Structure 1
């Protein structure tokens, strides 16, 4: 089985019910040449990036930091 055929088999094995409004919204952001599945995967990746960025901003704002040299000494590296 080729990689393309395997991907098709994976894609074909799951279904997601969408309301008509959600279907239209998803279709409107789908880029030419991409599948709706690709679009959902892109949205998930973007959400993960934004969450990571927010987490890092929070850590930067409220966290306490140790220099790498101090951390190595404490960890006996």
Structure 2
């Protein structure tokens, strides 16, 4: 009688472990997906920033070529 209960308990623990493993796998997939979205947004922000810096540098070069002060 005790052996059967131990066996049933062991089987139940095994099933619970499999369920938890599947849940962790699903969570990792969600995290990877969210990370990919964030990375995509970050790359877009970096590209916009790079364009803004290049525009600013060209503007500064124009001021220097015209011998104007940058702050006026």
Q: Give your verdict on TM over 0.5.
A: no
Structure with the greater relative contact order (CA < 8 A, sep ≥ 6): 1 or 2? 1
TM-score by length of 2: 0.40
- Structure whose alpha-carbon radius of gyration is higher: 2
TM-score by length of 1: 0.37
